[in-house]
Structure 1
């Protein structure tokens, strides 16, 4: 979560859980002691990603690591989703902190997607496809920031929090469905499904980019 978010960028944040997340964040932030700083929350988010990544590796040997994975994902959300709102609440916004927050958020998500490839829940192929789509959409966020002075944080209602929830839920779905990325045909079918979904997502992205280009043309 960025420390500096313009009013217009918030206008484009239409993810399904945006309103609920904001209310929850307000409750948590109000209860935080002054010793908890935005930078410390960012560090908590990074630690959470590392814990979650280690748990994904542990799941290769035992599903008992799944609760550890969820705990890591929760810490990652706490750090990356609350650092920006806390900074704004305390009027501690700073460009350097904004860069640190954005960079760590991006790196933590990339790290987690890559770690799924060494877990039993996704193949390397599927992880790389998801990573490519994530980087494409993330890059476009920054392009749109420059072009329209607004940063869309969601696609078809999916923002950073929804993406984290999907990542946290998938190991349980895969485990319940008996999917093992290294051993069975279900994983191959999953790879095909993810490729199809990725193609649909990229097509939607292209439509969005064309729409934004048309908007820029009309404004000029």
Structure 2
């Protein structure tokens, strides 16, 4: 890592929803009660992830629990998004500790989302686990980009954790209003929920590959081979 290890990473959020999310967080952050600390907000966000998992598990027998899942996702967004905002507003940032706690807690939350979705019966466990794997690949790619550029991208290709939560909310409403029914494509039984999961995997993998290639080419231009002119392209 670079010598400025103790400096905070620059943060860049160019997600599709960031124009709406940024002012909302600023407004909410200034109204968080003084007794609620950034760590308390992180815990609140994790509690929302646990509630999401439980709601999905219960929805296997009672689809109405999908509304509880959406409430858990909202709480998860609130806590996870406000912890850093409040720390910055109160000038009590701990860059390395905060970054580590936030990212490691997010990984646990993503695991709970995927496992809960698998237990709900709306998504086969194989698709849920593969979807989690490709999203974690994107998370690792974001951490690698932060290491080499000192800029932490909260979204890639306009898609971050906030956008994922919103997709899950929309999917939950759809599952409740139009329960997935099996149908056949080319002799293979499937549901629209399974097709949505497969589309997520394909799109996310494509985003990973295109971002990886673009970043590698950028770094190759910035670090030419020894003895080669700096402006010579790889």
Q: Give the TM-score range, shorter chain.
A: 0.7 to 0.9
Structure 1 residue 128 corresponds to structure 2 residue 111 = no
Counting only pairs closer than 5 Å after superposition, residues 77-96 of structure 1 correspond to structure 2 as 77-94=77-94, 95-96=96-97
Counting only pairs closer than 5 Å after superposition, residues 155-166 of structure 1 correspond to structure 2 as 155-166=156-167
Counterpart residue number, 2:37? 37
Alpha-carbon distance in structure 2 between the residues aligned to 1:43 and 1:101: 10
Counterpart residue number, 1:23? 23
SS at match of 1:33: coil
SS at match of 1:63: coil
Greater relative CO, 1 or 2 (CA 8 Å, sep 6+): 1
Are the equivalent residues in 2 in contact too, given 1:148–1:216 (CA < 8 A)?
no
> 1:219/1:53 Cα in 2 relative to 1: closer, same or farther (>3 Å)?
same
Deviations 1:1-48 (A, max 9, x none): xxx8633x32xx211111211111111111111101000000000111
Counterpart residue number, 1:48? 48
Structure 1 residue 150 corresponds to structure 2 residue 140 = no
Q: Give the C-alpha shift of residue 76 in structure 1.
A: 0.5
Counterpart residue number, 1:198? 201
Counterpart residue number, 1:74? 74
Counting only pairs closer than 5 Å after superposition, residues 100-115 of structure 1 correspond to structure 2 as 100-115=101-116
Structure 1 residue 207 corresponds to structure 2 residue 198 = no
Are the equivalent residues in 1 in contact too, given 2:52–2:112 (CA < 8 A)?
no
> RMSD of aligned C-alpha atoms?
1.9
Q: Give the C-alpha shift of residue 196 in structure 1.
A: 4.7
Report the TM-score when normalising by structure 1.
Answer: 0.88
Larger of the two Rg values belongs to structure: 2
Alpha-carbon distance in structure 2 between the residues aligned to 1:123 and 1:24: 35
Structure 2 residue ranges without an equivalent (≥5): 1-6, 224-234
Q: Going by fraction, where is helix more abundant, 1 or 2? A: 1
Report the TM-score when normalising by structure 2.
Answer: 0.83
Q: Going by fraction, where is strand more abundant, 1 or 2? A: 2
Tell me the matched-pair count.
Answer: 211
